[in-house]
Amino acid sequence: MTENNKKKLKLKVSAIKNGTVIDHIPAKSLFKVITILGLDKISNQITFGTNLESGKLGHKAIIKVSDKYFKDEEIDKIALIAPHAKLNIIKDYEVVEKRVVEIPETIKGIAKCFNPKCITNNEKINTCFKVISKNPIALKCHYCEKITNENQMVIK
Amino acid sequence: MKKKDLISINDFTKEEYMRIMELAGEFEENPNQDLLQGKVVASLFFEPSTRTRLSFETAISRLGGKIIGFTDSSSSSVKKGETLHDTIKMVSNYADMIVMRHPLEGSARYAAEVSDVPVINAGDGANQHPTQTLLDMYSILKTQDTLDNMNIFMVGDLKYGRTVHSLLMAMSQFENPIFNFIAPEELQMPDEYKLYLKNLGIRYFEHKEFTDIISEADIIYMTRVQKERFSDPIEYEKVKNVYILKNDMLENTKPNLKILHPLPRVNEIHTDVDENTKAYYFTQALNGVFTREAIISHIMNLK
Ligand SMILES: [Zn+2]
């Protein structure tokens, strides 16, 4: 079997009829993506694969959710941890639309403020950041006004 | 109508700055005005700051308001583990306005979100202390007749000094300011603020020596160099006596020059400067009462 045919076969085995395929998730972020999107709380059929070879990411993960389509603001929540994720919208086994995630202007929850003296790290408060730079990511805390850089960023 | 708060100096527009300045002038003329009669103001000091608290409480008293609150959190329910959220919820039911000081950064912004009544930030950790900035601006306006074209020298701890950061942001809203930063290597103005000035096309210069360059200054803003800011105590020993303003250094300075300091000072302004007419830091502190009366009136829509 040629490489190309193998690929096609693999795709066929795990294909879904209707729903969304989220590809190019960094393998280490798979479970965070599942939590952020609330996929652990819905009853749709979900299959996922992880530690798949990927040239770009090293190891990637993929999630296929049947009968579910995401709103932009829903999917943009994963931008901080899976900035290169690609979405395939499937209808009747066909990819009808491809989408990429975009880092939103404001980010609520998800990330922690790096400042240990910030109120959000001392009391139960949802964090809120203004995105002041997208590449590299820099987040300005709505509360303490300090800037959390990409390399200081911790996902809650 | 949406309630007003004062949390960060950046919350106010240039027009609001000018309105506060105008009102502060009115209160300086006539400090006792019963605008807060029948109103209760909560003064919540989760960490002690006698100077700021007395200034606020004087302002509230001169406006005829009643004060409730605490002077540090050791005597309050906070010590028993009550969350800031719950303290603010409770107090905002009692009072018509809240003045608060808290050691955690962002606490004031959060309190304003929780509270149904206006909140004035009297300092949240190393973050913001906007009423200090407004009283600094009032002091500049009063002594220079303008906030435009000011050459401002900032001296000492420019890294952690929140007062200099806020003053820099506020004065950048006015015409043609020039900033000169004099600080030791370890305590230089953070890049974030230099970038802010650069983006606005505002000129700034950095110096390590505190010398006759101050002859250009309209304002010298002195700050304390604190020992605990230094990772290496030897570094502190090296610089602790370098950034001290002495009277003989003022000989060739401009006649309109005024020296400001947020107080308390330790040794960074020699006492021989106090008698010089260019020393303004004690009057500056008094201006704080008028400015805070103005801020309260503005926030509470009393004028
Ligand atoms: Zn923060």
HEC letters along B79-119: HHCCCHHHHHHHHHHHCCEEEEEECCECHHHHHHHHCCCCE
Chain B interface residues (partner A, CB cutoff 8 A):
8, 83-85, 102-107, 109-110, 124-128, 192
Any residues with CB less than 8 A from the CB of B93 and at least 6 apart, and which?
B116
A111 and A95 together in one domain: no
Which percentage of chain B shows pLDDT scores above 90?
A: 83
Buried b (16+ CB within 10 A) or exposed e, A134-152: eeebbbbbbbbbbbbeeee
- B132 pLDDT exceeds 90? yes
Question: Measured between beta carbons, which residues in chain B are less than 8 angstroms from residue A143?
Answer: 105-107, 109-110
Query: What's domain B9-128+288-299's architecture?
Result: 3-Layer(aba) Sandwich (3.40)
In a domain, A112, yes or no: yes
A17 and A92 together in one domain: yes
Beta carbons of B103 and A147 less than 8 Å apart: no
As a 3-state breakdown, chain B gives helix, strand, coil percent values, each rounded to 5, of: 45, 15, 40
- CATH (domain of A111): 2.30.30.20
- CATH (domain of A64): 3.30.70.140
pLDDT tens per residue across span B179-231 = 999 999 889 999 989 999 999 999 999 999 898 899 999 999 999 988 887 88
Determine the distance in angstroms separating the CA of A114 from the nearest CA of chain B, rounded to an integer.
Answer: 12
Q: Which of A122, A145, A146 sits opposite B104 (nearest CB)?
A: A122
Q: Which of A118, A123, A125 sits opposite B105 (nearest CB)?
A: A118
Of B13, B14, B51, B227, which one is the catalytic site residue? B51
Q: Residues with beta carbon < 5 A to ion ligand 1? A: A 113, 115, 118, 141, 143-144
- Number of structural domains (chain A) is 2
A57 and A92 together in one domain: yes
A79 and A118 together in one domain: no
- Final residue of a structural domain among A100, A118, A144: A100
Per-residue confidence band for B233, with pLDDT thresholds at 50, 70 and 90: confident
Mean pLDDT estimate for chain A: 88
**CATH classification of B130-285 is 3.40.50.1370, yes or no?**
yes
| CATH 3.40.50.1370 domain residues, chain B | 9-128+288-299, 130-285
A82 and A123 together in one domain: no
pLDDT tens per residue across span B57-87 = 999 999 999 999 999 877 666 667 789 999 9
- Final residue of a structural domain among A100, A119, A135: A100
Show the domain range for A140: 106-155
In a domain, A4, yes or no: no
Q: What number of C-beta contacts closer than 8 Å exist between A and B? A: 50
Query: Which residues does residue A34 pair with via DSSP β-bridges, in sequence order?
Result: none
A59 and A85 together in one domain: yes
Q: Which of B7, B87, B104 to mutate to test the interface with A (most CBs of A within 10 A)?
A: B104
- A14 pLDDT exceeds 70? no
- Final residue of a structural domain among A64, A85, A100: A100
A34 and A49 together in one domain: yes
Determine the distance in angstroms separating the CA of A129 from the nearest CA of chain B, rounded to an integer.
Answer: 12
A44 and A27 together in one domain: yes
Calculate ∠ Cα A87-A93-A95, nearest 5°.
35
pLDDT tens per residue across span B279-292 = 999 999 999 999 99
Give the mean model confidence (pLDDT) for residues A21-34. 92
Determine the distance in angstroms separating the CA of B104 from the nearest CA of chain A, rounded to an integer.
Answer: 5
In a domain, A45, yes or no: yes
B277, B275, B272: which is closest to B258 by C-alpha? B277
In a domain, A22, yes or no: yes
A80 and A24 together in one domain: yes
Mean pLDDT estimate for chain B: 94
